[in-house]
Amino acid sequence: MGKIVKSISFVEALEPLPPEEQKEFDTMLPELKSGWQIFMNVGTALGIVAKKKLFRSNYFTFEEFCLAELGYSRPYAYNLIGSAEVSVQMSSIEDITVKPANEAQCRELINVPKDKRADAWKKVIKVAGEQPVTAKIIHEVVAPFKPWSKYRAKAKKRVQTKSSGLKSALKLLARVEVCAERIKDQAVLLELASLRKCLEELL
């Protein structure tokens, strides 16, 4: 008779915070909930909570904490953290007189490498001129500063090259089809029609 093996489920226990961290968390929680009008304070506080895991006495993950306490999704929370970091960095650069004014503007700079943000923002101000600095303007101007922009350009070039090659192949195929029609070779014409269909689907 075989042995009966009972399955054992392990329940992870929540970790109590040390008194000093609990005090820090309790101080920050009202600030986090207070709103959004001061996104800098919210983003900075969120960054500290995430880094130190000050949520761990009540929640297993930062995502659970954000959803339950603030109604924030994880990406939104990290956008606030990143925007606050951008704002702090831009504020410390003396020769930038016009600073990012809100979270939407800062958010567009999050994925720009830190050492290129100042140059990217200066170009934004130059391009905007007398116009309001909108998120759309920032998005378009800073795109080349983002790490993946060069890969996108290469990918676009490959697609264009492929498309050009396929069009050339179709032109050559048309000539072959004319020759096949002259010799009235139905088998060859059927194969060429199949080939044309495949090439057209690739375009």
Mean per-residue pLDDT over the chain, rounded: 80
Q: Tell which of 43, 63, 92 closes a domain.
A: 92
Q: Per-residue confidence at 49, pLDDT binned at 50, 70, 90?
A: very high
Alpha-carbon distance of 121 to 93, in angstroms, equals 11
Residue 37 confidence (pLDDT): 57
b or e along 30-47 (b: 16 or more beta carbons within 10 Å of the residue's beta carbon)? eebeeeeeebbbbbbbbb
Mean per-residue pLDDT, 176-181 = 74
Classify 104 as helix, strand or coil: helix
Mean per-residue pLDDT, 6-20 = 69
Asked if 17 and 86 sit in the same domain, the reply is: yes
Alpha-carbon distance of 65 to 176, in angstroms, equals 67
pLDDT at 30 > cutoff 90: no
Q: Give the number of domains in the chain.
A: 2
Residue 155 confidence (pLDDT): 47
Q: Per-residue confidence at 34, pLDDT binned at 50, 70, 90?
A: low
Read off the DSSP letter of residue 37: T
Residue 81 confidence (pLDDT): 94
Mean per-residue pLDDT, 66-91 = 92
In a domain, 166, yes or no: yes
Mean per-residue pLDDT, 44-54 = 94
Q: Per-residue confidence at 6, pLDDT binned at 50, 70, 90?
A: very low
In a domain, 75, yes or no: yes
Express each pLDDT in 148-176 by its tens digit: 655 455 545 555 555 677 777 777 778 77
> Which helix H or strand E contains 34, and what residues bound it?
helix 19-34
Asked whether the whole model's pTM tops 0.75, one would answer: no
Alpha-carbon distance of 47 to 54, in angstroms, equals 10
Residue 50 confidence (pLDDT): 94
In a domain, 185, yes or no: yes
Residue 7 confidence (pLDDT): 44
Alpha-carbon distance of 22 to 16, in angstroms, equals 8
| Lookup: tokens for 116 | 């290129």
Q: Tell which of 42, 68, 92 closes a domain.
A: 92
Alpha-carbon distance of 149 to 111, in angstroms, equals 11
Q: Which of 34, 9, 58 is nearest to 43 (CA)?
A: 34
Residue 10 confidence (pLDDT): 45
In a domain, 32, yes or no: yes
Residue 158 confidence (pLDDT): 54
Express each pLDDT in 101-134 by its tens digit: 888 889 999 999 999 999 999 999 999 888 888 8
In a domain, 117, yes or no: no
Q: Tell which of 92, 107, 130 closes a domain.
A: 92
Q: Which of 7, 14, 17, 43 is nearest to 28 (CA)?
A: 43
Q: In one letter, which amino acid is 127?
A: V
- In contact, 32 and 46? CB cutoff 8 Å: yes
Q: Domain range holding 160?
A: 150-202
In a domain, 138, yes or no: no
In a domain, 110, yes or no: no
In a domain, 50, yes or no: yes
Least confident of 6-10, 26-30, 59-63, 195-199: 6-10
- In contact, 60 and 14? CB cutoff 8 Å: yes
**Within a 10 A sphere around the Cβ of 27, how many other Cβ atoms?**
10
Alpha-carbon distance of 152 to 19, in angstroms, equals 49
